[in-house]
Amino acid sequence: MPYKYFVPVFLATASLLNSAPVNDAAELNAAIIHANNTGTDVEFGSSFNFSQLTQPLLQPLNADGVLNQLNQTFTIDWKGNTLTASPGTHRGFFARTSTGTVTIKDLTISSAIAKGGDGGSGGGTGLGAGGGLFLNKNSTVILDNVSFENCQATGGSSSNNIAKLI
């Protein structure tokens, strides 16, 4: 009988180690980095605006800081919450080429925008790809009850100068 409470405490501790609760943008990036490295699931407690990130990007899924693939399989469970980018200056998720699978559940992604770079003097513009979610070649993301509201992907602006052919 002296070990009566040992098992419940152990199970609660093990459960906390297998998920990363998130309630704001900084915790989201930290949880994605952790999941990319360990395959740990990510769970959310509330809706929030990720525009407060000083760097206007969410961490890529299944990639390290220089976009090397990591091949983890994990789930991001939003529990019916909303991830908002206001005033629409941040892109949503970016999935790296990987043999791992990321599942995103019960989420609304709102007002995310991917804008390509502007062209220089006679130069071309950059591709704006994946407003709410960009999937790189051979990446696998399963969407389970996920919706996108007011998300956009737009190319960059060209300059007024036109290159002359000689």
Let me know if residue 38 belongs to a domain.
Answer: yes
Residue at 165 is within a domain: no
Tokens 């737009």 belong to 154
Kindly state whether residue 24 falls inside one of the protein's structural domains.
Answer: yes
Chain segment 4-51, per-residue pLDDT in tens: 333 333 222 233 345 557 888 888 888 888 888 899 899 888 888 877
DSSP codes of every residue in 27-87: HHHHHHHHHHHH--EEEESS-EEGGG-SSS-PPPBTB-TT--B----EEEEEEEEEEE-SS
Domain of 131?
Answer: 6-117+125-154
Asked whether residue 69 is assigned to any structural domain, the reply reads yes
CA 116 from chain centre, in angstroms, equals 18
Structural domain total, the chain: 1
d(CA 87, CA 27): 20
Residue type, 21: P
* Digit-coded pLDDT (tens) for 65-99: 656 778 888 898 989 988 888 766 777 888 887 88
Task: Answer yes or no: is 100 within a domain.
Answer: yes
- Nearest Cα neighbor of 70 from 78, 60, 82 is 60
Question: Is residue 135 included in any domain, yes or no?
Answer: yes
90 vs 115: CA distance, rounded Å:
9
The reply to whether 133 falls in a domain is yes
Query: Does residue 166 fall inside a structural domain?
Result: no
Q: Distance between CA 54 and CA 78 in Å, rounded?
A: 22
